[in-house]
Chain A
Amino acid sequence: MGLVISPLELRGAIFVLLLLLPNLSFAEEPAKVSVCLSCHREMGGELAQPVSLWEKSIHAQLGNNCEGCHGGDPNDEALAMNPEKGFVGSPKPEEIPDFCGKCHVGVMENYKKSPHYSAFRRGIGPSCVTCHKSHDVERASFDLIDETLCSQCHSYENGRKMKQAFISAELELQKMKSTFHKLDRRGMPVRKFEEKLFAERNALHQMTHTLDVMEIEKKTELVLTNLEVMKQETAALWKKVKKRWAIGSLVGLFLILFILLLIKLHRSLEEE
């Protein structure tokens, strides 16, 4: 019996396909295009620049669009820049910390305690966009503490100390995170530990804007001590995992022997 299609079958198949074709479409609806983006793109030049910069930013990656910072209605051209729809436009330089601080509340509080803010109020210090840029906002990272950037205004000595302290704690935090992930895959309860770790990490990251070297070093010490306690607690979980593996292997071994015995019995029955 060969797999041959007759002309009749072929015509039938084509007919069914043609019937289905109009219905075949990708189920996901296309995303709505923001009027802010389309208008600014069309304007070109300086007014179009924020769009291309924003597209490369962490804000774009996380889905924070124009209206997230500037307000307005991105779906209606007439209301896009309407103050009643929350449109606030661009902030003046002195308004920048509060403008960003609408979302980054903790960071703003710490920044306002820092020498950077004191200098900013005197009109010589950096604001958020000095380090993080305005539209092409970069993901917060310790790499931002950089000699080239810091030494534009002052020496890098304190910056280096802070960076070292942060990175040493961050490496340990990441190691611990991967340990929790491994334990989770082995069926251990790690949610509480993960929450603790998240809190530690958060507290540490908030310190970045205080710029108080002594405080930061103290905090990183505390984080490392807490991580050591967590490490000891997770050691007990690892012990439990290994115990399970040992017992499981023994049960497996017993089952293998039992199966071999049954196969032997089956063979002897066959030979009879």
Chain B
Amino acid sequence: MKPIFKKLTDWLKVSIPIPGEFFTKVTSEPVPHHLKRWWFALGGTPAYLFMIQVVTGILLTFYYVPEPGHAYSSIQRITYDIHFGWVIRSVHKWAANLMIIAVILHVFRIFFTGAYRKPRELNWMIGCLILGCTLGFGFTGYSLIYEQLSYWGATVAANITQNVPLLGDFLARFMRGGDSVEENTLTRFFVFHTMLLPLGLTLLLVVHITLIRLLGVTEFQFEEDKGKPERHFPFFPNHFLMEVIIGMCLTLLITFLVVFFPARLGPPADPFLTPEHIKPEWYFYFTFRWLKLTSLQVGVLGTGAAYALLIFWPFIESGLAKKFPNRDFSIWLGVIAVVTLIILTVWEALV
């Protein structure tokens, strides 16, 4: 066996003329000691879940038909007729939910540890865009099912978009591809969900990870480390193995969810029958409740302003720090944001 293996590696070395030291350098870069804490090693989780989404998404696309007359029945076929279709669809559904949770938790972790500060402002902004893309995936993906609730969810979202100042009508028409949610809408959502958003997210992830490598991971020192010199450990195999273990734990969780709580299918979309209760997916509960509490324009402006505040917070904070040097506004903002998110989400879930 050995000569064959050697022949193969020699052939690879000739075919891919990159020196082996390069790979060693890339994979064994030292990472800060605080990453040995599991909570800090969760940054790779969204990337792992995204890979699951890509694989299961491609498999679902083999059978999904993005056309109003067939979309629902093609999902019905995937769920009930095709071998392991229910597994693929359920994995896709649960990994999507977990990915949203993972990205939100990662954003909070970065925010509360102040890891977005100079020189990492740009990477923070890219992270916020990744959060936006992930929510975009959730929204477009849910609408593709074309069941009654997802259809009306898309209709309500388009009507809400209409209230964006100046651009509202254009955005709503662009989203729907017409005056109402119909054939063009489904095609657009499909293109966004399977082409534009994956492409955008992949590019953002590449830039995000490249910037992490170029700027290095933020170094944290905990109470017990104070006074000790900075410690590091190799990315491969130590940290890589930690990421694999986290990935396997997620796989175990997804397996449990898929087997015991598989993806269901509600009644098909009926444009002539408005359901009694229209609710978006849980990750939009906070926006939905906020929109119910205010007039639509204030609701839309408020949501947009909150997202802009999140994106530009590193710059806003440094501006505030110049005026009020002894205040840490980020803790205030973070606590208010978390409490508001939880209250609005739970409130909407309970009604």
Q: Which residues of A contact B (CB under 8 A)?
A: 1, 3, 20, 23-28, 184-187, 189, 191, 244-245, 247-249, 251-252, 255-256, 258-259, 262-263, 265-266, 269-270
- Interface of A: prevailing SS: helix
**In the complex, residue of chain A having the shortest beta-carbon distance to the beta carbon of B299:** A27
Q: Are A259 and B245 in contact (CB under 8 A)?
A: yes
Partner of B90, one of A26, A187, A255: A187
Contact B248 A23 (CB under 8 A): no
**Is B238 a contact of A248 with CB atoms below 8 Å?**
no
Chain B contact residues, majority secondary structure: helix
Instruction: Report if A27-B294 is in contact (Cβ < 8 Å); known contacts: A245-B260, A248-B258, A255-B255.
Output: yes
Distance in Å: Cβ of A218 to nearest Cβ of chain B: 33
Q: Is B86 an interface residue (CB 8 A)?
A: yes
Query: Which of these, B248, B260, B298, B299, contacts A255 with CB under 8 Å?
Result: B248
| Interface members, chain B 232-277 (any A CB < 8 Å) | 237-238, 241-242, 244-245, 248-249, 251-252, 255-256, 258-264, 267
**Complex contact B259–A259 (CB within 8 A):** no
Known: A252-B256, A259-B252, A266-B245. A27 touches B328 (CB 8 A): no
Chain A residues near B249 (CB-CB < 8 A): 259
A25 to B293, CA, bound (A): 6
- Complex partner residue of B238 from A20, A184, A191, A270, CB under 8 angstroms: A270
Q: Find A262's partner among B79, B244, B264 (CB 8 Å cutoff).
A: B244
Q: In the docked arrangement, what's the CA distance between A185 and B245, Å?
A: 31
A residues within 8 A CB of B299? 27
Contacts of B291 in A (CB 8 A): 27
Query: Does B327 count as interface, using CB distance less than 8 angstroms?
Result: yes
Q: Which of B101-147 contact A (CB under 8 A)?
A: none
Query: Contact between B327 and A245 (Cβ–Cβ < 8 Å)?
Result: no
Shortest Cβ distance from residue A272 to the other chain B in the assembled complex, whole angstroms: 9
- Pull 7 A–B residue pairs with CB atoms less than 8 Å apart, ordered by A: A23-B295, A25-B294, A187-B263, A248-B255, A248-B256, A258-B248, A269-B241
Q: In the complex, which residue of chain B has the Cβ closest to the Cβ of A272?
A: B238
Interface residues of B (CB under 8 A from A): 76, 79-80, 86, 90, 237-238, 241-242, 244-245, 248-249, 251-252, 255-256, 258-264, 267, 291-299, 326-328, 331-332
Nearest CB of A to B315, in Å = 19
Q: State how many angstroms separate the Cβ of A182 from the closest Cβ of chain B.
A: 12
Assess whether A269 is in contact with B237, with CB atoms less than 8 Å apart: yes
Q: How far is the CB of A126 from chain B (nearest CB, A)?
A: 34
Which A residue sits closest to B327, measured CB to CB?
A1
Report the separation of the CA atoms of residues A59 and B21 in the bound assembly, to the nearest whole angstrom: 80
Closest Cβ of chain B to A190, distance in Å, is 10
Question: Which residue of the partner chain, among B261, B294, B328, contacts A1 with CB atoms under 8 Å?
Answer: B328
Q: Known contacts being A186-B262, A255-B251, is A25 close to B256, with CB within 8 Å?
A: no
Minimum CB–CB distance for A130 against chain B, Å: 33
Apart from the given pairs A26-B292, A187-B264, A247-B259, 17 other A-B contacts in the complex at a CB distance below 8 Å: A1-B326, A3-B331, A26-B293, A27-B292, A27-B296, A28-B292, A187-B262, A189-B79, A244-B259, A248-B256, A248-B259, A252-B256, A259-B245, A262-B241, A263-B245, A265-B241, A266-B242
Instruction: Give A247's nearest chain B residue, CB to CB.
Output: B259
For residue A262, which residues in chain B have a CB less than 8 angstroms away from its CB? 241, 244-245, 248
Nearest Cβ on chain A to B241's Cβ, whole angstroms: 5
**Contacts of A191 on B, CB cut-off 8 Å?**
267
B267 closest partner in A (C-beta): A191
Q: Are A248 and B260 in contact (CB under 8 A)?
A: yes
Whole-angstrom CA separation of A187 from B260 in the bound complex: 9
Instruction: Please indicate the chain A residues that have their CB under 8 angstroms from the CB of B256 in the complex.
Output: 248, 252
Q: Which 4 A-B pairs have the closest CB atoms?
A: A248-B259, A187-B262, A189-B80, A23-B298
A24 near B241 with CB under 8 A, answer: no
In the complex the two chains form, what is the Cα distance from A245 to B245 in whole Å?
Answer: 24
How long is the Cα–Cα vector from A244 to B252 in the complex, in angstroms?
15
Contact (Cβ within 8 A) A3 B332: yes
- A265 and B241 CA atoms in complex are apart in Å by 9
* Bound complex: CA A262 to CA B297 (Å): 52
Across the interface, do A24 and B248 meet the contact criterion of CB distance under 8 Å? no
Tell me how far the C-beta of A198 lies from the nearest C-beta in chain B, rounded to whole angstroms.
Answer: 13
Q: Which residues of B contact A270 (CB under 8 A)?
A: 238
Given known contacts A245-B259, A269-B237, A259 and B248 CB-to-CB distance under 8 angstroms: yes
Residues on B with C-beta less than 8 A from A26 are 292-293
A25 contact set on B, CB distance < 8 A: 294-295
Given the complex of chains A and B, what is the CA–CA distance between A27 and B245 in angstroms?
47
- What residue in chain A is nearest B302 (Cβ atoms)? A20
CA distance A1 to B320 in the complex (A): 15
Does A269 lie within 8 Å of B238, measured CB to CB? yes
Give the Cβ gap from B95 to chain A, nearest Cβ, in Å. 15
Assembly CA distance A81 to B332 (angstroms): 61
Given known contacts A1-B327, A251-B255, A269-B238, is B79 in contact with A187 (CB within 8 Å)? yes
Residue on A with the closest CB to B249? Answer: A259
Residue numbers in A under 8 Å from B260 (CB-CB)? 186, 245, 248
Contacts of B295 in A (CB 8 A): 23-25, 27
The residues of A that contact B258 with a CB separation of less than 8 Å are 248
* Contact A184–B264 (Cβ < 8 Å): yes
